[in-house]
Structure 1
């Protein structure tokens, strides 16, 4: 952990924040007085029912029926929030509408650009609502989408949500079987699809795959097509399909909203499915609404009229999270295409053009920019950006310092971590704290999160499992097709009964109250009895210019033996040499310990990643332990399935 302070908000920055206003509101309305963020956080987790009810009142939730109780609970996961309340997520977005102001800004790598006003957005959503109702779609039906990150995806989601139907989406870079594994579980009635997409300057026709998906979903009533490659006709689709613009060009009348129970499903998200059929994770309408209002206001400080961007696809939970910026009256900024085509400056130039206020991306993008020595501040005017958020993987301290040296010296860097499981962040930013190198600023309000050692005791300043010991409204209400919550309970609540074990390896700094995440605990390197987070290895290797990427696993073999190989992908024009191997080992030994030194360093052509951009350490470990391939990895869940061939062959020699 580092005490190197990189940034701190000015007094004005803090006093203009939503969190400052909420703190004053608590004092005025509840006689609660707090001087620090940590005091507010402690109160919020000691009094979770009171805290979440305060948000209900503070954000003035529109409800069509009063709730009976704030929280009913025996032990986790047997809990229910705001029982009896009826509301609608989409309605809370449109109450922020200022007709002539911009709601959505869209750009793509081909140079297309679009601004959609709140007035036009409302009209298109109303048209989609009218169409869905005309074909019999009602509350509780499932509508699925195979779409890029385009305005039509947001419009469709808001319409599906407005009628109380259930949304689910994947991006068109998913393979057919991967999509079918997801969508077939929930028996959708409508399939909204694209005919293809562009990436790295190349078109990818998905017509055949989209038709294969539709044919594998026998519950469908209708296929809606967005022609993205061929904008004129539904080329390659059945005549029974409908062009999405036909729907949008029809007057839908006044937009109305269907109130649903607080605990009614809002959408279905999916686990990565790296080793089997993905878990279909269901969140509640009201739980997501309250959580997203809390995070966008108090942890990202998004204000009405600002422009909020996150580089994502519709297959990552950050797409769902991105929509919630509209709850604050902000414009959401969508981008479709490669973030590095034609070069690493693409998104920064886009930000300059759009004047983005909140820029969101993945940790791997920032690390890759650092390793490629990109200096956006010298090429682009980034004065509009006031927060830069990062998630998807631990952000190493070198990347923190890279941001302040090469991107923007006065930006609020909000490293955050959460997951598909809750569609939010457990830990993230606060305007009240400084940013310290390598650390996430805080535990989010209402998130009773601690580091546990192996005996279930809370620890600070030491590595431990991330555990949440009290419920959050956006925890799943259930997994689809999971009678008695068997898979749900097994996923989070078995290791520490009645408490959520998230699967991350963390350390909480008692001095700064910040946190460092050391990687997934299921990929933790247990080296001669000492647990090592994979992020420590990657941080050290990131400093070696000739290496582009790496992956490390530790294998527990027979007779108590261990084997820890490190796989490295070299930068173009470089190869792995004994000198580089020595450099790696010396870095690890000097910065950490001899236990961090791998048993072998092997060059590979590529590092395996999921479609959502996570390194596949656990599946590779299973392959190297010679577990059956079908039980080790799902190739359809991968961004680069061809990379696996090397590891399958390598395993034969272990």
Structure 2
């Protein structure tokens, strides 16, 4: 879809004139020259080199970030098809070793700050972190855990979860985590696929002022996983609570009772580090396997170059352990930074909660979701007027496209000194492939550029590269080291290839609509599998939500399109959940239609607007447009979506009731 004339967003932030000279990007560029590479004087030149010389670029990242090779690789990249390239053949390393490397430089500095609504604030120094990881590793060894075994955690974003993960990685064992708000079925659908040996679990947690007991969930999860040999209990909700009588159960303190020197198993570059899972809204969640080397390199690049994190700086991203952003956040340790872990309700006691944390802990890089930013804007709060956010230099936004209004709200209500970095990537690569950098300006509604080493393009349906200003399918045309090493149990690789490389043979197809501009900035306008094809014209769902969700009477919305098999315009349906004190009457429906007509086009005006009590969302906050469409086409609710993968499963029942009433 070509946009004849695109109105670019206004500049909301510009770098200082000497931003390049004072950036880690310039330091890295000097390192590239020292290795015999070209001189680069700005981000675009460095990006072009990284895309044209993938092997040398990633080799430079590895040497600049002091990746410790136990065995030196024979090359950086052995080319093949996109789905079977080999990175750093012969090289062995350990992700956990690189994560903890700063402990020798700054043992008494703070590595972790933990803030929780379940217990008091904690600080962990680098020396204490190494000691806890060593003890946890010893405890796992005593319980028979070794290279290739699976350790899983039903625990929140707290220090114990991080310690257990690093101990697992140090052994060459394989990690997976689920947040404790997951339902039993959502957890067992994931972990039954990988047959874990050890389960680490909390008994419950506080969400705001409400205690959530998860003891029964843990028992049911354990009963559904016959491979389990050991269960480690973390008394998080009730620290003095009694242990289960199950002989497999021990307390967290017992796991860490004995000390042994911390060692690191040297593993190949593509040795499995952890298994992440797709959302699983329909069918079993997809088990995506990531490797030690790919994650270490990609996260080192992202944090050091794109966010400019330095030793001693503080980074916080609101996330749960069931979202890949947790895996991304904790890799901030690679830079010697302090990571701030937050567990609890981000809106308790009010929407200033996360902003207060950022102010109190003097966070340098803060990450939140786009819906959180828009909720704060809709609430009318001005965090920059209420707390001291002078330390925050970068505000990251992910989880959904950030609308223009969100970009404009931040310099006005949060701080004009803050660079807003909307980014997009996903569980499949455990990073972003489009984002920003400290030397790039920010325009409202846009993402600054391709990330270094990420050859992202927009493709037409026939597989041709789109022209600037033309919307197409987001694809990646060159390999990235953090692409999955495979899908668990897919020995032949057939499922992996069909998942990512079938739509455009030999090219990674991601499933988003993206538009690139002449300067390399881009916009993402929604999932291509939720596309609204109205009379042959594609409409992005994000465009609707910018208009509808900004209305004070609307709490949430979802839009779906039912195609006409005879080629007509089909039926466009908008579902809205109204805010407290409002209801969907003729006046509100007409105002929604007028807004969509005037702000977008007559094609965006829905044929039907219906009220729901809530819009169903996944645990990571994504709207369920595709499952709602399937239900409208006759699929039962339980087949259209897995309830245990939803943040609000009761909302699915409300959709089902509305569909049933609509069809009778």
| TM-score higher than 0.5 | yes
Report the Cα distance in structure 1 between the residues aligned to 2:578 and 2:168, rounded to whole angstroms: 46
Residue 416 in 1 paired to residue 423 in 2?
yes
Q: 1:563 aligns with which of 533, 548, 571?
A: 571
Partner residue in 2 for 1:638:
646
Partner residue in 2 for 1:362:
369
CA contact (8 A) 2:243 2:250 kept: no
TM superposition shift of 1:273: 0.3
In structure 1, runs of 5+ residues without a counterpart are: none
Residue 333 in 1 paired to residue 340 in 2?
yes
Residue 21 in 1 paired to residue 7 in 2?
no
Residue 313 in 1 paired to residue 323 in 2?
no
Partner residue in 1 for 2:185:
177
Query: For residues 104-140 of structure 1, what are the alpha-carbon distances to aligned partners after superposition, in whole Å with 9 as ceiling and x for unaligned?
Result: 0011135620111111111111000111111111111
Partner residue in 2 for 1:583:
591
TM superposition shift of 1:221: 1.6
In structure 2, runs of 5+ residues without a counterpart are: 1-6
CA contact (8 A) 1:83 1:263 kept: no
Over aligned residue pairs, what C-alpha RMSD do you find? 1.4
CA contact (8 A) 2:619 2:645 kept: yes
Instruction: Provide the TM-score with structure 2 as the length reference.
Output: 0.96
Report the Cα distance in structure 2 between the residues aligned to 1:352 and 1:139, rounded to whole angstroms: 42
Aligned to 2:588, the other structure's residue is in SS state helix
Partner residue in 2 for 1:387:
394
TM superposition shift of 1:239: 4.5
TM superposition shift of 1:582: 1.7
Partner residue in 2 for 1:551:
558
TM superposition shift of 1:199: 1.1
Instruction: Provide the TM-score with structure 1 as the length reference.
Output: 0.98
- TM alignment of 1:170-319, pairs within 5 A: 170-236=178-244, 238-248=246-256, 250-319=257-326
Partner residue in 2 for 1:96:
102
Q: 1:63 aligns with which of 46, 69, 83?
A: 69
Residue 376 in 1 paired to residue 376 in 2?
no
Report the Cα distance in structure 1 between the residues aligned to 2:152 and 2:193, rounded to whole angstroms: 11
Partner residue in 2 for 1:432:
439
Q: 2:490 aligns with which of 482, 487, 494?
A: 482
Moved more, 485-494 or 598-607: 485-494
Partner residue in 2 for 1:498:
506
Partner residue in 1 for 2:89:
83
CA contact (8 A) 1:211 1:237 kept: no
- TM alignment of 1:110-149, pairs within 5 A: 110=118, 112-149=120-157
Report the Cα distance in structure 2 between the residues aligned to 1:93 and 1:263, rounded to whole angstroms: 17
Residue 596 in 1 paired to residue 604 in 2?
yes
Query: For residues 157-191 of structure 1, what are the alpha-carbon distances to aligned partners after superposition, in whole Å with 9 as ceiling and x for unaligned?
Result: 11101111101000000011110010111011100
Q: 1:629 aligns with which of 633, 637, 645?
A: 637
Partner residue in 2 for 1:344:
351
Report the Cα distance in structure 1 between the residues aligned to 2:457 and 2:207, rounded to whole angstroms: 41
Aligned to 1:275, the other structure's residue is in SS state coil
Residue 442 in 1 paired to residue 426 in 2?
no
Partner residue in 1 for 2:47:
41
Partner residue in 1 for 2:413:
406
Report the Cα distance in structure 1 between the residues aligned to 2:198 and 2:310, rounded to whole angstroms: 35
Query: For residues 510-560 of structure 1, what are the alpha-carbon distances to aligned partners after superposition, in whole Å with 9 as ceiling and x for unaligned?
Result: 1x3211110111011111100011000011113322111111010114433
Report the Cα distance in structure 1 between the residues aligned to 2:491 and 2:659, rounded to whole angstroms: 37
Shift of the 237–376 alpha-carbon distance from structure 1 to 2, 3 Å rule, reads: farther
Aligned to 1:394, the other structure's residue is in SS state coil
Aligned to 1:495, the other structure's residue is in SS state coil
Shift of the 19–237 alpha-carbon distance from structure 1 to 2, 3 Å rule, reads: farther
CA contact (8 A) 2:476 2:508 kept: yes
Report the Cα distance in structure 2 between the residues aligned to 1:649 and 1:485, rounded to whole angstroms: 41
Partner residue in 1 for 2:481:
473
